Structure 1
Amino acid sequence: MNSNVQFVQTMLKYTYGVVPIVAGLDKFTNLLTEWRLYLSQGFADVLPFDPSTFMIVVGIIEIIAGIIVLVRPKIGSFIVGAWLVCIAFSLIATWSYVDVAVRDLVMAIGAFSLFMITNDKVASSEELG
């Protein structure tokens, strides 16, 4: 693989691995933001538990997704990209935090770019012979 492509792949891998882990961990502390405020009131009303509990579950999912990116970037980048699209659509559907929704869609493009440039280990070993 071209060294520039390898560099980009490595940077994207660590970005989409570490950022979800940090965001997921922050769901437990709310140091970066008050995460439950990103839930629309309508969605929060239908939850069978407190919005803070829901955000802790989201945090656990984000931590797992970030770890998967670091271990299996091809699979993990697809998961993180899809997760970001879902978050963006949920924000757009309630017309809240549209700026964050746009940012998440742009981040999803980066995650899907990592997916596209990451070679499968099986394909790589087949090419080697």
Structure 2
Amino acid sequence: MATIKQLQSTLRLTFGIVPIVAGLDKFTNLLTHWENYLGSNVDMLPFAAATFMKIVGIIEIAAGILVLVRPLVGAYVVMAWLICIALQLLLGGQYFDVAVRDLVMAIGAYTLAQLTKMKEAHS
């Protein structure tokens, strides 16, 4: 049976590594062409969409590192970030599947925060 520590460690690695990989991919577009997710909002940006996605990538890399170093704070940051992305996609009227996935991932990040609290309380 998995312990709180094992579950917390698995989620910490997941929510640490995945944002780092997604953030790095904002510079290469190997996984997907990230600018497509901006939709019609791209016209509101004060700079090129590619530049915006690189800024997003840096934020995601920082969030992933934060989860690895300070999982309680990092989990809440990643949770909020994922909710914001999902809301932007929902308001854009497309990529509903990705929005739902991001909301589910936000629940996972919240679970990481709660497990981290439990682990710290038992330490």
TM range (shorter): over 0.9
Contact 1:84–1:104 (8 Å) recurs in 2: yes
Under a length normalisation based on structure 1, what TM-score does the superposition of the two structures give?
0.90
CA displacement, residues 20-77 of structure 1 (integer Å, 9 cap, x when unaligned): 0000000000000000000022x10010001111000000000000000000000000
Cα drift, residue 107 of structure 1: 0.3
Under a length normalisation based on structure 2, what TM-score does the superposition of the two structures give?
0.94
Contact 1:44–1:51 (8 Å) recurs in 2: yes
Q: Which residue of 2 aligns with 1:53?
A: 51
Instruction: Give the root-mean-square deviation of aligned CA atoms.
Output: 1.8
- Alignment-mate amino acid for residue 55 of structure 1: M
Of the structure 1 ranges 111-120 and 88-97, higher mean CA displacement relative to structure 2 is found in: 111-120
- Alignment-mate amino acid for residue 105 of structure 2: M
Q: Where do 5+ consecutive residues of structure 1 fail to align? A: none
Cα drift, residue 4 of structure 1: 1.6
Identity %: 56
The ranges of structure 1 where at least 4 consecutive aligned residues each deviate by more than 3 angstroms after the TM superposition are none
Contact 1:74–1:120 (8 Å) recurs in 2: no
Q: Where do 5+ consecutive residues of structure 2 fail to align? A: none
Q: How does 1:31-110 map to 2 (within 5 A)?
A: 31-41=30-40, 43-110=41-108
Q: Which residue of 2 aligns with 1:5?
A: 4
Structure with max Cα Rg? 1
Q: How does 1:4-23 map to 2 (within 5 A)?
A: 4-23=3-22
Cα drift, residue 119 of structure 1: 2.6
